[in-house]
Structure 1
Amino acid sequence: MAEHTSYTEENIRSLDWKEHIRMRPGMYIGKLGDGSSPDDGIYILIKEVIDNSIDEYVMGAGKTIEITVKDKTVTVRDFGRGIPLGKVVDVVSKMNTGGKYDSRAFKKSVGLNGVGT
């Protein structure tokens, strides 16, 4: 039987925007892992990149999607609009950043939307 522990106001914490991700990455990408398990977070992130390519294709901005797996490297290319160069660093490194919050640029989107690339 599990040991009974108390849960009080003292257990409630507020974390800054990145501390909570570092403490519980599974809430966003699954477990960290080393890629040896099918539920490792790296596969969630790869799926996110593929989902972004599908968004481009479905909206008519991407003409084809190429996915290559070679020597433990995955390459995804969608021949779509791409991330505007002046915002690449922000989009790939800051939570909740992306064009999918602007309904003029994206009418529909799937995936994590601002959580991973």
Structure 2
Amino acid sequence: MENSEVRYTEDEIKSLDWKEHIRMRPGMYIGKTGDGTAADDGIYILLKEVLDNSIDEFVMGNGKTIDVQIKEAVVKVRDYGRGIPLGKVIECVSRINTGGKYDS
């Protein structure tokens, strides 16, 4: 194998906004992307995060039930917890690292 010099200049340095980075490298955020056939595929990591949040609400006394419905390729989770204050819904679902539990 021939060892050729690799050129690395300022032109190769890029900055991505957070959405572009997640789309380009989803595995950095959810592990292996996969097709859902393996237990450690990213879809299950995302589902575990939703369930963990529901359990947190339940343990803190917010809501008495966690409903999980699985039908074909659709999973629905409802926890009857406090939810997201309406004035912050868009921010919470569209900006990474936005949440209300950083001080707890």
Q: Which range, TM-score by smaller chain?
A: 0.7 to 0.9
Letter in 1 for 2:78: R
User: Do the aligned partners of residues 18 and 64 (structure 1) sit closer, same or farther apart at CA in structure 2, a change above 3 Å counting?
Assistant: same
Segments of structure 1 that go 5 or more residues without pairing to the other structure are 108-117
Q: State the 1:51 CA deviation.
A: 0.9
The structure showing larger relative contact order (alpha-carbon pairs under 8 Å, at least 6 residues apart) is 1
Q: Please say if 1:79 is aligned against 2:80.
A: yes
Cα deviation per residue 1:74-108 (whole Å; 9 max; x = unaligned)? 1111111111122222212221112122x3xxx3x
Contact 1:53 1:62 in 2 (8 A): no
Identity %: 67
Aligned residues: 102
Partner of 1:37: 38
Separation (CA, whole Å) in 2 of partners of 1:63 and 1:82: 14
Segments of structure 2 that go 5 or more residues without pairing to the other structure are none
Q: CA RMSD in A?
A: 2.6
Contact 1:64 1:78 in 2 (8 A): yes
1:7-46 mapped onto 2 (5 Å cutoff):
10=9, 13-46=14-47
Letter in 2 for 1:90: E
Separation (CA, whole Å) in 2 of partners of 1:14 and 1:7: 21
Secondary structure at the aligned position of 2:64 is classed as coil
Q: TM-score, normalised by structure 2?
A: 0.75
Q: Please say if 1:66 is aligned against 2:67.
A: yes
